[in-house]
């Protein structure tokens, strides 16, 4: 469990007047620990004994606070969710839709330069890079 992430989420929730109820904590801990970019159904399966409505409500709060982002996966047409307390970008396989995280990229100047260029007030950053994953490359070579 990455403790600094949990602290970040707890503090951000508190700052915005949200309580860290036990179900919310379970969902937050799962989102921090997983790197599988789960759908709501997957979260429901992994985090036991929580109603789907609680999962959606909690995700909605976390998205509003920019702690979780939504990813549309064109391969299964489902919305996937991803903990985004630590900025990173996604490399997506165009064949099987598998999404992996990559972090070796400097995000720090991106929001500022986007604001300068467009006048938008930037509230979040998301980058996707596309390609063929190693498994799909192997299949293609056969």
Shortest Cβ 104–Zn ion spacing (Å): 14
Supply φ then ψ for residue 71, to 5 degrees.
Answer: -125, 125
**Helices and strands (H, E) in the chain, number of each type:** 6, 5
Cβ of residue 59: shortest distance to Zn ion, in angstroms? 15
Q: Distance (Å, rounded) from C-alpha 9 to C-alpha 128?
A: 24
In the complex with Zn ion, the residue whose CB is nearer, 116 or 142, is 142
Residue 17 CB, shortest distance to Zn ion, in Å, is 27
- Smallest gap from Cβ 115 to Zn ion, in A, equals 23
Closer CB to Zn ion, 6 or 136, in the complex: 136
Q: Which residues bind Zn ion (CB under 5 A)?
A: 82, 93, 95-96, 98, 101, 133, 136
Rounded distance between C-alpha atoms, residue 105 and residue 39, angstroms: 26
Q: Which is nearer to Zn ion, 19 or 142 (CB)?
A: 142
When the beta carbons of 119 and 134 are compared against Zn ion, the nearer one is 134
Three-class SS state of 37? coil
Closest CA to 42 of 4, 85, 78, 93: 78
């Amino acid at each position: 469990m990455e403790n600094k992430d949990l602290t970040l989420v707890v503090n951000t929730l508190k700052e915005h007047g949200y309580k860290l109820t036990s179900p919310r904590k379970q969902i937050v801990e799962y989102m921090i620990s997983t790197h599988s970019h789960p759908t709501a159904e997957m979260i429901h399966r992994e985090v036991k004994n929580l109603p789907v409505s609680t999962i959606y409500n909690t995700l909605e709060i976390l998205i509003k606070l920019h702690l979780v982002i939504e990813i549309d996966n064109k391969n299964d047409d489902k919305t996937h969710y991803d903990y985004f307390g630590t900025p990173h970008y996604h490399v997506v396989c165009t064949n099987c839709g598998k999404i992996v995280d990559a972090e070796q990229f400097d995000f720090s100047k991106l929001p500022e330069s986007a604001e300068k260029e467009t006048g938008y007030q930037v509230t979040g950053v998301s980058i996707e890079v596309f390609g063929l994953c190693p498994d799909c490359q192997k299949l293609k070579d056969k």
